[in-house]
Amino acid sequence: MPGRKRDIIAYFHSLDRRSFMDRPQQDAELDEALPIGYGQTISQPSLVLKMTIALGLEERHKVLEIGTGSGFQTALLAAFSNEVYTIEKIPQLYESAKTRLEAKGFKNIHFLLGDGSLGWPEYAPYDRIIVTAAASDIPKELVDQLSPGGRMIIPVGHRYSQDLLAVDKSSDGNIEKTVLEAVRFVPLKGKYEN
């Protein structure tokens, strides 16, 4: 994994965050979350990288992303996995991210406009699931769609304070949760909204 981690870090640094914003901002180089409209943000870059590395991505993996947002995280996932299925609830963000990522030449990203907290059962199970907005609890639907041996990274908690969790599913279906760090994300829209 050390070589792969290095590759992810190098690719991450090659991504121009400004190109994932409709209105490029002079603050794009700062390591902080920035607004992208509709009450949503493009996440703090160091946290995007940390969450991606925590997934333990492999080239063969099928990944479910909840909250496409700007598409910044999606691009990172798509470069280091086989297929990415990404769900966005806000139509304007869905359209702009889809246009942006297709223009960048990605062929392994599948887009859905809908309630991400319910997952995308049609293509389940997923080797990895990443949730980029805060849920009040771990959605059962997402746990059910996680492959045995799979891992989900998700912020869970109250509106203004959450724990970033790694949720690992064993081969016999048991779930183990590990707190990675304290975080603050915008709320997950839909059934598990804060």
Residues designated as active site: 43
Instruction: Write out the chain in H/E/C secondary structure.
Output: CHHHHHHHHHHHHHCCHHHHCCCCCHHHHCCCCEEEECCEEECCHHHHHHHHHHHCCCCCCEEEEECCCCCHHHHHHHHCCCEEEEEECCHHHHHHHHHHHHHCCCCCEEEEECCHHHCCHHHCCEEEEEECCEECCCCHHHHHCEEEEEEEEEEEEECCEEEEEEEEECCCCCEEEEEEEEECCCECCCCCCC
